[in-house]
Amino acid sequence: MSAPFKADHVGSLLRPVRIHQARKDFEAGNISKDELFKIETEEIEKVVDKQIEVGLKAVTDGEFRRRFWHTDFMEHVGGFEGYIPEEGYSFNGMKTEAYNIRNIGKISFDKNHPHVKEFILFKEIVGDRAVPKQTIPSPNQFFNYGVRNKEIYPDIEEYTDDIIAAYQDAILAFYDVGCRYLQLDDVYIARLNTEEEPYQESGYNREQLIDLALRVVNGALEVKPEDMVITTHLCRGNYRSTWAFEGSYAKIAPVLFAKENVDGFFLEYDDDRSGDFEPLKEIPDGGPAVVLGLLTSKSGDLEDKEVIKARIEEATNYVPKEQIRLSPQCGFSSTHHGNVLTEEEQWEKLRYVIALADELL
């Protein structure tokens, strides 16, 4: 079976203590950037070995070089910069660490983007032992409120065209360095489903924004080579084991589930705030894989096998079992802070995902 695999995972993993300390030492001026990079590389080597040891067929670098799942990539796209806003995002019961990106010029993508260069080394570390999976934010993340500079891009359609062109270049850049499994992480699309009023300052209503989101992803995917798998993860927020919003996928499903040209959807279904499985009926039979995130990455508690079994059977009312895969609902460390569980609990969770997938799928 090709990616996404029967048992898969979203991507990020808890940062080891050594990386946390190295970051502090770098910020304090006690070690150089090269020394930090070397420590990160050594820890990536260890975490790749561990993923292979527990039985994963697709492995990631754990996002060990990133502070946040999205901004580290986005701030190195031409025409954007990272900055510290007055406050972070609102999550359930807390605010995130304040950091964001903003548009400062015309948009472009350089094939020497840090993530592309880092993938070359990552692929060498993995070798032929597993499939190296690369995660990047979806192009739709650039449509979040306040990112577009209206003085540079007064017309959102011109902004859209340039984002699509940049992501076409990004997809081909990753392909050229050997990436065959790429994942687009998308909080923006999931949020379009739940906002009472669309929060983009474009003047478009919800339906128009959903159509735009589809056009952005499918436009970027027009250049996807046939032997490259590209999936998307639709997330409702993941920060220190909290979440940003709730609601089903019902409003976006008729457009995005039905027409988005990805090879698989990683979907959050770990608790009641995710809604029911009915939106899955919009995914075409024989179409994209449906990776059910039935196990939570927000705690180390292992879910009841019978509950997982029953939920998979329920999902088959809407999508063929042959299309179903299993994973945690999100990464374990979408930001450098990490979720509230131990590394051993993280690995036990991933072992459990693999065991359940082997038995139930």
Burial grade of 189 (CB within 10 A; 0-12, 13-18, 19 or more): buried
- pLDDT value, residue 198: 60
Instruction: For residue 253, count other CB atoms closer than 10 A to its CB.
Output: 18
Instruction: For residue 79, count other CB atoms closer than 10 A to its CB.
Output: 20
- pLDDT value, residue 240: 62
> Is the alpha carbon torsion for 62, 187, 211, 100 positive or negative?
negative
- pLDDT value, residue 190: 79
pTM: 0.94
- pLDDT value, residue 195: 66
Which residue stretches of the chain have pLDDT < 70? Answer: 1, 88-94, 195-201, 237-246
Check if the beta carbon of residue 155 is closer than 8 Å to that of residue 199: no
- pLDDT value, residue 244: 57
The kind and range of the H/E element at 58 are strand 58-59
How confident is the model over 310-327, as pLDDT tens digits?
A: 999 999 999 999 999 999
Q: How far apart are CA 359 and CA 356, in angstroms?
A: 5
- pLDDT value, residue 329: 92
Residue type at 111 in one-letter notation: K
Check if the beta carbon of residue 14 is closer than 8 Å to that of residue 43: no
Check if the beta carbon of residue 223 is closer than 8 Å to that of residue 168: yes
Phi-psi region of 22 (alpha: psi -120 to 50; beta: other; left: phi over 0): alpha
Beta bridge partners, 78, equal 108
Q: How far apart are CA 116 and CA 4, in angstroms?
A: 21
Q: How far apart are CA 294 and CA 288, in angstroms?
A: 18
Token pair of 195, please?
């906002």
Residue 69: what are its φ and ψ, rounded to 5°? -65, -25
Residue 320: what are its φ and ψ, rounded to 5°? -60, 145
- pLDDT value, residue 339: 78
- pLDDT value, residue 340: 79
Q: How far apart are CA 279 and CA 234, in angstroms?
A: 13
Q: How far apart are CA 43 and CA 132, in angstroms?
A: 16
